[in-house]
A = this chain, B = another copy of it.
Amino acid sequence: MSDTTRGYLRIATEEAFAPPELITLYRDMLDRGIASHGDPGFQSLMGFYTGHRSERTEFVFDRLQDLGAARIADMDATGIDHQVISLTSPGTQILGTADAVAMATLANDQLAEAVRRHPDRFSGLTAIAPQDPEHAAKEIERGHRELGLKGVIINSHTQGEYLDDPKFWAIFEAAEALDTPVYLHPNTPSPRMIGPLLDAGLDGAIYGFGVETGMHLLRIITAGVFDRFPRLKMVVGHLGEALPFWLYRLDYMHGASVRAGRYPFMKPLERNVSDYLRENVWVTTSGMPWAPAIMFCREVLGPERVLYAMDYPYQYAPDEVTAQDNLPLSSADLKVFYQTTAEELFHL
């Protein structure tokens, strides 16, 4: 990509799309009622988006399904040069295995076609069906080698299951082998955690997403995934789902817990919990366009670990771009933040 007069390109790295076929599937599932999918978080989130007609929900559904002129016009209006696009949450992960595999294939084909039409404006991540880890590994390879996609998107839990379970590790093995990062995107909390969050309306973006996804990343770290796959790269949004805030405590308490033998399955790790967060994980600013938290994360994780995201079309807010342009950073630092970290991480 070429440079601009402002001195940096703005590359947004957590931007969503959805094939019309997926929206239809979601509507069908919701029409058939909660018993058919067993996920109160899905009901709360997608039930809201499909069930409430408002300016906001109309805009989100319209733009999710657009990989052309309307999306590019919105990018131009907010000064976004390039989007790294991925299948919206919960993606395939709410579906039965056969549907999930078919939907991942379809979504990747649609996204790759859009990238071919607009290579300067779009890159894409590979959607997978974690329900079938071996197929998922093959799809990661197809996305990488045949479709030109630049990473992998996973929307936290898959029907209550988490990626620290070794049955999923073929996914990590493929991603590490291809040096293609895995973006661990939020989902609503899984059924055995959502109860008191849902009761209070805190299950979604306000708090539940962060709890679910922060816990998921911690599970991955403490299960030793990065000891087994030391070159694996993961990306999380919301500036790391508050784990940077807990950095000191995670090291202290993980050490204390391992030494005490409190959980027989919790084994010593080769590095500190904070080391994995600093060396294997990158964080994006999706939904967190707030200077104090961005600067805090740059301080405790390192400036080359924090990169820009908008979360289009959910958080399409021009003033947030301005806020991040006005971070107390030099032009060179802004280029690291908006452009070069994304280019290097995703091999754009």
Contacts of A293 in B (CB 8 A): 245, 247-248, 296
Q: At the interface, yes or no: A278 with Cβ under 8 Å from chain B?
A: no
Query: What residue in chain B is nearest A205 (Cβ atoms)?
Result: B253
* Chain A positions 70-102 with a Cβ under 8 Å from a chain B Cβ: none
Neighbour of A257 across the interface among B204, B215, B247, B254, CB < 8 A: B204
Known A54-B260, A215-B197; contact A222-B248, beta-carbon cutoff 8 A: no
Q: At the interface, yes or no: A261 with Cβ under 8 Å from chain B?
A: yes
Contacts of A289 in B (CB 8 A): 248
Minimum CB–CB distance for A158 against chain B, Å? 12
Contacts of A196 in B (CB 8 A): 157, 160, 162, 190, 192-193, 215, 219
Contacts of A245 in B (CB 8 A): 239, 242, 244-245, 293, 296
Contacts of A157 in B (CB 8 A): 196
Complex: how many Å from CA A169 to CA B54? 35
* Cross-chain contact A56 with B260 (CB below 8 angstroms): yes
* Cross-chain contact B200 with A262 (CB below 8 angstroms): no
Q: Give 1 or 0 for each of A194-208: 1 = CB within 8 Å of chain B CB.
A: 111100111011110
* Cross-chain contact B253 with A242 (CB below 8 angstroms): no
Complex: how many Å from CA A242 to CA B241? 10
**Which residues in A have some Cβ–Cβ distance to B below 8 Å?**
48, 52, 54, 56-57, 157, 160, 162, 164, 189-190, 192-197, 200-202, 204-207, 210-211, 214-215, 218-219, 222-223, 238-239, 242, 244-250, 252-254, 256-257, 260-263, 265-266, 287-290, 292-293, 296, 299-300
